[in-house]
Chains A and B, each alone.
Chain A
Amino acid sequence: MLQEPLKRKTHLSIALALVFFFVIYPLLVDAEASYLVFLFYTAFMYVTLSQGWNIAAGYAGQVSLGQHAFFGIGCYVTAITWRAGTAGYLDPLAMLMSGAGAAVVAIVVGLPLLAKLRGDYFALGTLGLGEILRVAALNGGSFTEGAAGISIPSDVYQSIKPYYFIALLISVLTMLSLWFIAHSRIGLALVAIREDETAASANGIPILRYKILAFTLGAFVTGLCGSLNAYFVFHIDTTGAFNLNWVIMPILMVILGGVGTFVGPVLGVFSLIAAFELIRLLTPQLHPIFSGAFIILVTLFLPDGIMSYLTGHKNRLLHKLSPFKWLALNK
């Protein structure tokens, strides 16, 4: 984890240059007509979603399969407040509320789940949470408008630029907070929990508090993304909001990039999106087959993620992830 100051400086300047590039890119091209601007917007969303999963799963070892629940909550809080007139278009307050809503659910559900469940059981529990919320929204009567979903007139839409910059801002803020957490006492505590919960507890680390913190932070940023998505699609229903894709894709991206690493998920997001786009270029019709084949190829040849390939270190964190702890076959 520790890096020499010089190396750190280069990393920082690369990061700044990248952010600078992303900030000016839509100003240089015709943003409305540029497909790349839309792709970047999607990528920023997935960076946030991926890191939201990574913080609990990668750093603290609590693998959640219920991120789509938080995404859906974000969508619905925004859509409901918007419909009621309490929030406006791209209202920062509504977005924060959406994130907070997801965070509150994460705390309420996380308390019993994280206190009681370990490993796979926690993963299965969160999967159940997502499905319960989906069915609840489907049967929510006039509050969620059930299967019909909430439709908001799209004539307020003017440009993709605000979406682009908000998504960029959220992802940068997520990355920053992850950086500070990873390099603070909290980060050390999280890793200690992942490595050996019993030992961490014996050393006086309040494990439940830290687990909840990581889980809640992940839920909060995921809720933010859901909110932005609601503003972008103008029609929120259960199929779109609680779609399992919102949990599966980020997990794929993080694993592709490197679980429990800081830069890995970002690489994962961009390479997966680029790969899918390329496959679509070659064959517009067959691409779902290729995405399946692509995932299989990656796991066969890059099982530890791109990061470990680049740095040459075997991703040891992966082996220690408590949820799917591999029973050390080759020991």
Chain B
Amino acid sequence: MRAPISDLPVAFEQASLRAGAVNIVSDLDLTLGAGSPTILFGPNGSGKTTLLRLAMGLVAPTSGRISWGGRAEPGERLAMVFQRPVMLRRTAAANVAYALRAHDDRRVAELLDRVGLAHVAGRPARKLSGGEQQRLALARALARDPEILFLDEPTASLDPAATKAVEDIVRAVAASGVKIVMATHDIGQARRLAGDVVFLARGRLVERAAAATFFTAPATPEAAAFLLGDLVI
């Protein structure tokens, strides 16, 4: 069942998050609308995770505002996969069932199949490998039938094979019409998945461009330096 109201676009207007004297993100103006995956790109500590947490409604900006489909409160059809997802102490299948709005064994099986985990449905989620846990987190997020899926460096600690499995799922989810907003600091991954790129550094939005433009002709010196592999702090 689809909720009638949409959370898109997610619009940041001069949104800042300050912790004590430190600005974690500053004066963000950004609109995330439907379409191809948006990759939040930038070095560690650039504010990618914080941007996702703000967009998910997990924290409120200390100044400025964020709206979801023109409303001040986030709706039901947002989902997020964390860098280190928490596996509930129960089976893989039960973890997916937990996120469903109504009990539905067929849907659980379908979702597990979608992320290639049908064969571990009955195993305790905490006993799964890192890659499997990340895919289970994806299935759990998809169980919410999201319109937007936020992903915070979901492959940061995974090997190439597990990374590919996650990227394949993300690509398939994007193709099914779900808006993907994913943070990464991996240039290869950004190239592979991005429709457009939001480049962040030191808590500020430095550049936003279509992927093709961003990777071939970055407009800002910070983005150019980062793409060349220079250390952008």
Q: Do A and B bind each other?
A: no
Give B residues with C-beta under 8 Å from A. none
Give A residues with C-beta under 8 Å from B. none
